[in-house]
């Protein structure tokens, strides 16, 4: 088995090629929109959600070509959310993935349309006929991504986030927000990768679900720590933005040391249901370590 860095790099390159093929060429009408869509998606990001989909698919024996489709759908939803989050009416951030945000590189109207188009392209990708043998499974996958992206998932979490600016939240309220804003799409990425297998074992699905819920929260805890400790060059986005915006975070509520301890606890909780799967779960183990220890 190749080491984690080699596997991750290969999977990231693979996903870059898949997304490059999936996105409309920049030289066909409407050229500006297609160019901006490609700008927002390609050439940046760690592809953590795609890595999760592939790691979960590996545990369930899913064909990589099918996982590519599911992973690309999640990456497109994630990219659209970043474009919209950075806009002046949301988090108003000028930097994303080490380059100007989409609305700064183009304009607000184009950025709005980029998000809309990427969202619809994600569902177009997940609806492709070659993804599933059974139509009911594909409908289940489409439903999963829709819920994870909408008002009961990512969009709802963002609404709660915007409404929480300047307010004091307790840990349970903050957790509720991030289960929706960040965790829902991370959970969907892992489950969609698993569902790409022809024969899905219910026990493995439950283990992956438990893992993904814990690692989704851990991802946000670490993000809050990074926002407090790292610089903009390291982050690829504006450092200290949460504090500047007076947003409640795990750091502001718990402090740095307790937040780091919580990330470790969530890591251990994520790995517990994978214990019986041995080497089959190696990539999920490695990815959890990467997510929770990428800064400290």
Homologous superfamily of the 4-292 domain (CATH): Farnesyl Diphosphate Synthase (1.10.600.10)
Look-up: residue for tokens 């992956």?
208
CA distance 125 to 219: 26
pLDDT at 296: 41
Provide mean pLDDT across the span 178-202.
Answer: 95
CA distance 232 to 239: 5
Q: What is the DSSP string of 224-265?
A: HHHHHHS-HHHHTS-TTHHHHTT---HHHHH-HHHHHHHHHH
CA distance 204 to 55: 12
Digit-coded pLDDT (tens) for 84-96: 999 999 989 999 9
For residues 229 and 258, is the Cβ–Cβ distance under 8 A? Answer: no
pLDDT at 99: 92
CA distance 176 to 88: 25
Digit-coded pLDDT (tens) for 51-104: 999 999 999 999 999 999 999 999 999 999 999 999 999 989 999 988 999 999
pLDDT at 293: 83
Digit-coded pLDDT (tens) for 219-246: 999 999 998 887 655 556 565 666 666 7
Question: What Cα–Cα distance (Å) separates residue 111 from each residue in 4, 35, 82, 157, 296?
Answer: 35, 11, 10, 21, 34
What's the pLDDT band for 268 if we cut at 50, 70, 90? very high
């Amino acid at each position: 088995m190749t080491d984690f860095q080699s596997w991750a790099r290969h999977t990231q390159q693979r996903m870059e090629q898949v997304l490059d093929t999936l996105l409309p060429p920049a030289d066909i009408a409407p050229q500006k929109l297609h160019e901006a869509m490609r700008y927002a998606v390609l050439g940046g990001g760690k592809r953590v959600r795609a890595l999760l989909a592939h790691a979960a698919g590996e545990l369930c024996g899913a064909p990589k070509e099918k996982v590519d489709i599911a992973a690309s759908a999640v990456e497109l939803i994630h990219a659209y959310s970043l474009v919209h989050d950075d806009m002046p009416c949301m988090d108003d951030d000028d930097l994303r993935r080490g380059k100007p945000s989409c609305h700064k590189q183009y304009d607000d109207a184009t950025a709005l349309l980029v998000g809309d188009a990427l969202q619809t392209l994600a569902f177009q990708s997940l609806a492709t006929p070659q993804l599933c043998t059974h139509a009911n499974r594909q409908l289940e996958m489409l439903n999963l991504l829709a819920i994870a992206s909408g008002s009961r998932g990512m969009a709802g979490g963002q609404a709660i986030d915007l409404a929480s600016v300047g307010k004091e939240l307790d840990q349970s309220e903050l957790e509720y927000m991030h289960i929706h804003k960040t965790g829902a799409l991370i959970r969907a990425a892992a489950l969609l990768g698993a569902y790409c297998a022809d024969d899905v074992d219910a026990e493995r699905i439950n283990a992956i679900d438990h893992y993904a819920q814990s690692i989704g929260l851990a991802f946000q805890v670490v993000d809050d720590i990074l926002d407090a400790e790292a610089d903009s060059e390291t982050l690829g986005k504006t450092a200290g933005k949460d504090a500047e915006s007076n947003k409640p975070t795990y750091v502001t509520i718990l402090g740095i040391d307790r937040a780091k301890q919580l990330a470790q606890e969530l890591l251990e909780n994520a790995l517990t249901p994978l214990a019986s799967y041995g080497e089959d779960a190696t990539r999920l183990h490695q990815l959890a370590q990467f997510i929770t220890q990428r800064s400290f």
